[in-house]
Chains A and B, each alone.
Chain A
Amino acid sequence: MGIMNTDRTLPSNRMVFEVRRSPEMYERFTRDLEQIMAVYGLSEEEKAAWREENIGQLAELGVHPYFLPQISRLFHGVAHNHNESEACKAYARHLDDLH
């Protein structure tokens, strides 16, 4: 896996792109994941990976690698994003899946 394996057409990629751009969409993401996944038309496979915060599976499906640690931040916060932060620890749990 890597950036060259990105599936640009994957609905999850559009969702992450727009959620980070728009405070309104980020608020909707934090309030109701199911609703926003429906808005962007994610597949059942994608939805299952998001529900489990399964970063390895999202990578497998073609989410852009740059988005993967950002997905951790969408769930766990962006501030003080050092290696011991909750967002980094959540990402690190999936490292073995990313080789």
Chain B
Amino acid sequence: MAEIVATAALSHAPSLTGWLYKAPEDTQKRILAGFRKMGVLVRAKKPDYIIGIANDHALNLPFDNTPDFCIGVASEWSGPAEWFKDWVALPDYKVLGKSHHARTLAREINRSGIRVAFSDDLLFDDNWSVPLHFVTPEHDVPLIPINMNCTVPPLPSVDLCYQMGETLAEVVRGMLPEGDRVIIMATGGLSHDPGGPNYFEVDEEYDRWFLALLEEGNPQRVLKEVTIEGMLAAGDGGTTELLSWIAAMGTVGDHPAKTICYEAEPALRCGLGCSFWDLT
């Protein structure tokens, strides 16, 4: 059976690469140190590939037919998509996929009863481009991207996202090749409000509460206390991206997370943080 060697969760805000220079210098240093540490932790696990879970920014999942989850099954990916290049200010890159493995995930997760779509044509914006820049800057670890709907109503419930993570972990361990070392990597959040009245604010109190909750390693409490309504109150336009972190939690059960870094800097318009679950 394949082994999930670690699960990671991190923000992917475009400000991390596009206008980080607008933050105070010491804040920039702490952010770069934290996100680069995340990369060191992931790469130290020598993963054969990463299975990522990120919200789709209404770029690939159309409004007339919006799945909760969509597994990327291409053998190679590229980014950033044209219109987003200047926004994230990152050079063009390519990263290998794992087509056969991704199809296995799509087939088996559907068989489990969770409906997932699949696609070999996903455009990458900040959701993958920014985290890969920090975690695998050489783009030398293959990626199976899972794009999920976190913002187009009706949203998948917190319970469904957690169940998706549990099922993903079961399929990885049960169906992917013996000896494969797998990292699960959720990206999105923390609090932010693109398109809302709090666009230029960050809800630091909510973010720190959420990160502390992950450190408890108590999924029952998470499922009881983390709600879509609470996320919306912390930043209507984007905080529900944390549903991808809930899916990540589903892959670790009661393992406690370690918070690697957190910064609440209004110039960057998003609570920025990283959590890591060391499973081996």
- A residues with a Cβ closer than 8 A to B are 1-4, 6, 8-9, 13-14, 16-17, 20-21, 23, 26, 59, 64-69, 73, 77-83, 91-92, 95, 98-99
Given contacts A2-B196, A65-B237, A83 and B152 within 8 Å (CB-CB): no
CA distance A20 to B82 in the complex (A): 8
Which among A3, A6, A73, A91 is the interface contact of B87 at CB below 8 angstroms?
A73
Q: Which residues of B contact A16 (CB under 8 A)?
A: 58
A26, A66, A78, A95: the one within 8 Å of B194 (CB): A66
Q: List 5 A-B contacts (CB under 8 A).
A: A3-B232, A9-B63, A14-B63, A81-B15, A98-B196
**A4 contact set on B, CB distance < 8 A:** 153, 232
Q: Is the interface of B mostly helix, strand, loop or mixed?
A: loop
A67-B19 contact in complex given A3-B152, A3-B236, A6-B152, C-beta closer than 8 Å: no
Per DSSP, chain A at the interface is helix
Among A14, A66, A77, A99, find the residue whose CB has the most chain B CB atoms closer than 10 A: A66
Q: List 14 other contacts, CB 8 Å, given A1-B196, A3-B232, A65-B194.
A: A2-B196, A3-B152, A3-B240, A13-B63, A26-B83, A59-B195, A65-B236, A66-B237, A77-B86, A78-B86, A79-B87, A80-B19, A83-B22, A98-B195
Q: Are the CB atoms of B197 and A66 closer together than 8 Å?
A: no
Q: Considering only CB atoms and an 8 Å cut-off, how many residues of chain B contact the other chain?
A: 37
Q: How distant is A56 from chain B, measured CB to nearest CB, in Å?
A: 11
Task: Name the 5 nearest CB pairs between A and B, nearest first.
Answer: A65-B195, A79-B86, A82-B19, A68-B195, A78-B87
Distance from B211 Cβ to chain A, minimum over Cβ atoms (Å): 23
Residues of B within 8 A of A65 (CB): 151, 194-196, 236-237
Q: B251: shortest Cβ distance to chain A, in Å?
A: 26
What is the CA–CA distance of A24 and B195 in the complex, to the nearest angstrom?
A: 25
Q: In the complex where A21-B123, A80-B19, A83-B267 touch, is A95 in contact with B199 (Cβ < 8 A)?
A: yes
Given contacts A17-B63, A65-B194, A91-B199, contact A78 B58 (CB under 8 A): no
Given contacts A23-B82, A23-B83, A66-B57, contact A3 B151 (CB under 8 A): yes
- Smallest CB–CB gap between A84 and chain B, Å? 8
Contacts of A78 in B (CB 8 A): 83-84, 86-87
8 Å CB contact of A2 from B15, B232, B267:
B232
- Among B58, B81, B197, B269, contact of A17 (Cβ-Cβ < 8 Å): B58
Residues in chain B near residue A67, CB distance under 8 A: 58, 195
CB neighbours (8 Å) of A3 from chain B are 151-153, 195, 232, 236-237, 240
Q: Which residues of A contact B58 (CB under 8 A)?
A: 16-17, 64, 66-67
Complex interface residues of chain B between 226 and 280 (CB less than 8 A to chain A): 232, 236-238, 240, 266-267, 269
- If A66-B151, A83-B269 touch, whether A21 touches B81 (CB-CB below 8 Å) is yes
B31 to chain A, nearest CB (A): 15
**Is B223 positioned at the interface, with any CB of A under 8 Å from its CB?**
no
Are the C-beta atoms of A66 and B199 separated by less than 8 Å?
no
Separation of A81 and B237 alpha carbons in the complex (Å):
17
The answer to whether A69 and B194 have CB atoms under 8 Å apart is yes
Of A9, A80, A98, the contact of B197 (CB 8 Å cutoff): A98
Q: For A21, list chain B residues within 8 Å (CB).
A: 59, 81, 83, 123
Cβ of B200: which chain A residues have Cβ within 8 Å of it? Answer: 83, 92
Q: Check B199 against A20 for contact (C-beta < 8 Å).
A: no
Report the Cα distance A66→B63, complex, angstroms: 13
